[in-house]
Structure 1
Amino acid sequence: MTDFTKNPRPFYPRLSSASREIRLLHLQPGQGTEEADELQTECRLSVVSLDSNPSYEALSYRWGSRTSTVLVDGHEVVVPENLDEALRRFRLDGRERVLWADAVCIDQSQVAERNAQVALMADIYKTCERCLVWMGNTHLFDRSDGDSSGLGVGSLHELLAALSKKHHLDQPDAPPIATMFGVTRIPLMYLNMAPWWQRIWVVQEVVLAPQSLVLCGCMDHIKITFLWADLLELRDLLYHLLEVARLPGRSGAVPSTPATGQTCTDFLDVLLSVRHRECADHRDKIFGILSLVQDWGSWAPVTADYSKDARQVFTEVAVQMLQHEHGPRTLLFARGANPTAWAPHNLPTWVPDWT
Structure 2
Amino acid sequence: MELEWLADRFGDKGALLIGGAIIGALFGAFAQQSRFCLRAAAIEFSRGQVGGKMAIWLIVFSTAIAGTMLLSAFGMFTATEARQLASPQSLSGAAIGGLLFGTGMVLARGCSSRLLVLSATGNLRALLSGLVFAVVAQASLHGFLSPLRDALASPLTTLSIGSNDLLTLFGISEIIALTFVLVGLVASLSLALWRKIGLWKTITAFAVGACIPLAWWFTKSMTTIAFEPVQLEALSFTGPSANTLMLFLSEPGSMIDFDVGLVPGVFIGAFIAALVTGELELQGFEGGGSMRRYLAGAALMGFGGMLAGGCAVGAGVTGASIFALTAWVTLFAIWIAAATTDWVVDRKLPARKARSQARSVAGEAQLSDLQPGM
Shorter-chain TM-score tier: under 0.3
TM-score by length of 1: 0.23
- Return the structure number with greater helix share: 2
TM-score by length of 2: 0.22
**Over alpha carbons, which structure has the higher Rg?**
2
Of structures 1 and 2, the one with the larger relative CO (CA 8 A, separation 6+) is 2
